Amino acid sequence: MKATELRSKGGEELGKELTELMRAQFSLRMQIATQQQNNTAQLRKVRRDIARVRTVMNEKASAK
């Protein structure tokens, strides 16, 4: 997911996206803990996507 894609979304859409990513992160953490997930790089990707969404949300909040 790119930041340019996120900037075109509204505040409500960003909130939904953040919620989905947080759920995905929790699911991946549980899968890694129970050794069902071998691809730990996927967790890193989700964490960075969460950071991107939060950054864009903060940018939009400070622009008002």
Q: How far apart are CA 17 and CA 58, in angstroms?
A: 14
Helices (H) and strands (E) in the chain, counts: 3, 0
- Taking residue 16's Cβ as centre, other Cβ atoms within 10 Å add up to 13
Q: What is the largest CA-CA distance in the chain?
A: 45
pLDDT of res. 13: 94
Q: Which of 42, 62, 51 is nearest to 6 (CA)?
A: 51
How do residues 9-47 score in pLDDT, each as one tens digit? 998 999 999 999 999 999 999 999 999 988 989 999 999
Q: Has residue 3 got a pLDDT over 90?
A: no
Model pTM greater than 0.75? yes
Domain 3-63 matching CATH 1.10.3470: the answer reads: no
For the chain, what are the domain ranges?
3-63
How do residues 51-61 score in pLDDT, each as one tens digit? 999 999 999 99
pLDDT of res. 61: 92
